[in-house]
Amino acid sequence: MNQLDALKKFTTVVADTGDFKQLAQFKPQDATTNPSLILKAVQKPEYQPLLADTLGKHKGQSLDVLMDHLLVRFGCEILQTIPGRVSTEVDARLSFDTAASVARGERLIALYKAEGIGAERVLIKVAATPEGIAAAALLEQRGIHTNLTLLFSFCQAVACADAKVQLISPFVGRIYDWYKKSAGTSWDEAANAGVNDPGVKSVREIYNYYKHFGIKTEVMGASFRNCGQITALAGCDLLTISPELLAQLAANSAPLALALDAKAAVALDLAAVSFDTSGLRLALNQDAMASEKLAEGIRAFVADTLKLEQIMLAAA
């Protein structure tokens, strides 16, 4: 048995890509997208007809509406290949606007419904800012399930649990990147691998807290840099993995053991915590890694959204 098949016995495997033509070979349950992944996909020749067809069908509409149609088109194509859910992201420029994020999430779901896709098969991705978490809480109350992305800290995870969001995506690789860069020449790769990887440790803390207190929000590790980070989180509710790393797992027949155990988490001695909005802002501010990576992630998604808009304008 290869490691990908072994991992599927412990964890729901999710493909992290906009390139739906790659999906079938890995047989993931769910799939996630983001502006960077969609940008990467539309620049491939095989997706040019899809872009042109989408723009042609909705000619004359505003750029933000065209963008949502494109995202939903990719989502619908992905859902033809997978049995589960697809995550579609709200414009990152709305990360600090609760009302606008709610409105955009509702519009995305309406567009999916117009294509015959039920809301139960879609997760609306929102950045885990205080405003984004508030938007997710409102969307969940309206029957729209959410995936809180760009999550780097325990305080964000606790706030998401209090908001009763469906799923969170803690970014393993980007946490690892920050600590590695911060350490500079003193970084010891071997000493910070596997269970000692700072990104892995962050997800383990969140997972154990959720399971200990019976929190229903799903934990989906994301943003992996290597297979060691993935195998160190075997047993997590879900893991969203790039096609490149899925292929590496499929090519590796080394044994894979359960790394996270919900039953063991229940027995831990943990204290419950909670954050109001001001408390969440302070906790994020006090965490240099989390606040820096959250801001950096939003900037990157905004930049890629702008690039995608330019491609759409040129193709229209």
- pLDDT, one tens digit per residue, over 226-246 is 999 999 999 999 999 999 999
CA–CA distance from 44 to each of 21, 38, 247, 265, 268 (Å)?
11, 10, 20, 44, 48
pTM (2 d.p.):
0.96
Distance of alpha carbon 137 from alpha carbon 214, whole angstroms: 18
Give pLDDT, residue 53: 96
Residues whose CB falls within 8 Å of the CB of residue 175, separated by 6 or more in sequence, listed in order = 152, 198, 199, 202, 289, 293
Average pLDDT over every residue of 34-49: 93
Q: pLDDT > 70: what percent of the chain? A: 100
Asked if residue 297 has pLDDT above 90, the reply is yes
Asked if residue 22 has pLDDT above 90, the reply is no
Give pLDDT, residue 213: 98
Asked if residue 191 has pLDDT above 90, the reply is yes
Name the residue among 90, 87, 89, 91 with its Cα closest to residue 123.
87
CA–CA distance from 229 to each of 59, 236, 313 (Å)?
44, 12, 39
The domains of the chain are located at 3-315
For the chain, give the longest Cα–Cα distance: 59
Give pLDDT, residue 298: 98
How does residue 170 score in pLDDT terms, banded at 50, 70 and 90?
very high
Residues whose CB falls within 8 Å of the CB of residue 186, separated by 6 or more in sequence, listed in order = none
Average model confidence (pLDDT) across the chain: 97
**Contact indicator for 81, 88 with CB cutoff of 8 Å:** no
- pLDDT, one tens digit per residue, over 245-296 is 999 999 999 999 999 999 999 999 999 999 999 999 999 999 999 999 999 9
Average pLDDT over every residue of 148-173: 98
Distance of alpha carbon 143 from alpha carbon 164, whole angstroms: 12
For helices 154-162 and 130-141, give the axis angle rounded to 10 degrees.
30
Rg of the chain on CA atoms, in Å: 19
CATH tag for 3-315 (out of 3.40.50.300, 3.50.50.60, 3.20.80.10, 3.20.20.70): 3.20.20.70
Which residue type does 97 have?
D
166: three-class secondary structure by DSSP: coil
DSSP assigned state of 96: T
**Contact indicator for 9, 235 with CB cutoff of 8 Å:** no
Q: Which residues are annotated as catalytic?
A: 125
How does residue 316 score in pLDDT terms, banded at 50, 70 and 90?
confident
